[in-house]
Amino acid sequence: MRRRAAFGVACVCLLAVAALPQQVSAQVRSKGAASSSGSSAPGSSAPGGRTQAVDYAQRFASTCAACHGANGRSDMAGTPVLAGQPSLYAITQLFLFREGRRSNEAMTAVAKTLSDDDMRGFADYIGTLPPVPAPAPAAAADAARMAKGRSLAEQHKCVYCHGSNLEGGQQVPRIAGQKEEYLQASLRGFKSGTRPAYTQAMVSAVSQVSPEELDTLAYYAARFTGGAAGK
């Protein structure tokens, strides 16, 4: 009963936040349509060869992979895993960086150079990258801390938006297997306001969570490997 009521609330939330990124996407898409030639149907084989997927795969390899890794997971500190991120989430964040609303020296410099078509192309490409599991950890996960993280994720409804496998979808990012220090910094940033979000969803989600609990959630999500693992 309680679960159902809570889920109802989360659905309303999701509907409200879903509308906004779609607007960005639509805005970007319609602006892009003016400068690009007509149909962007995937797989359409125009005689000129509009091989956009291949094009952005190559551009990702030359422009993004140095930091984010060829497969979307790098070892570079502070650089998030992109593999497995939904394209709608990716385009929203590229937009925030380009407009200077989300700021990071390295990433903002890159985003400033992107056209609307580029943001769409890179985001679509990111959406095709399969999730890459984290390298085997040096030490086994602390079972008590994992259990605590799991119950916090339920208590604070993280799972209602990020999914029971923390895999995300649409405008909601995958957090399973993301780097711990990046998760920690993001969660603290939403709470302190240093990471402006696209909607209020995350800001209100973390408002009642203590910094110590946020760190436990980061620990848990970074090590989460599937439904059974956290049980």
Rounded (5°) CA angle 185-180-69? 100
In the stretch 1-30, what mask flags binding to ligand HEC with x, by CB under 6 A?
------------x---x-------------
Please name the residue that has the structure tokens 């992107």.
114
What does the DSSP 8-state code read for residue 164? T
Instruction: Please identify which residue in the block is written with the tokens 């938006």.
Output: 161
The answer to whether residue 156 forms part of the interface with ligand HEC (CB under 6 A) is yes
Q: How far is the CB of 53 from ligand HEC (least distance, A)?
A: 14
- Please identify, among the stretches 30-38, 42-50, 74-82, 131-139, the one whose residues bind ligand HEC according to the rule CB under 6 A: 74-82
| Binding region for ligand HEC (CB under 6 A) out of 28-36, 42-50, 138-146, 172-180 | 172-180
Structural tokens at position 106: 């390295």
Question: Both tokens of residue 53?
Answer: 């997927």
- Single out the residue of 86, 93, 95, 129 in contact with ligand HEC (rule: CB under 6 A): 93
| Residue type at position 179 | K
158, 160, 155: which is closest to 190 by C-alpha?
158
Cα gap 98→60, rounded to integer Å: 17
Residues that bind ligand HEC (CB under 6 A): 13, 17, 63-64, 66-68, 78-80, 82, 90, 93-94, 104, 106-107, 110, 122, 156-158, 160-162, 171-173, 175, 178, 183, 186-187, 197-199, 201-202, 205-206, 209, 217
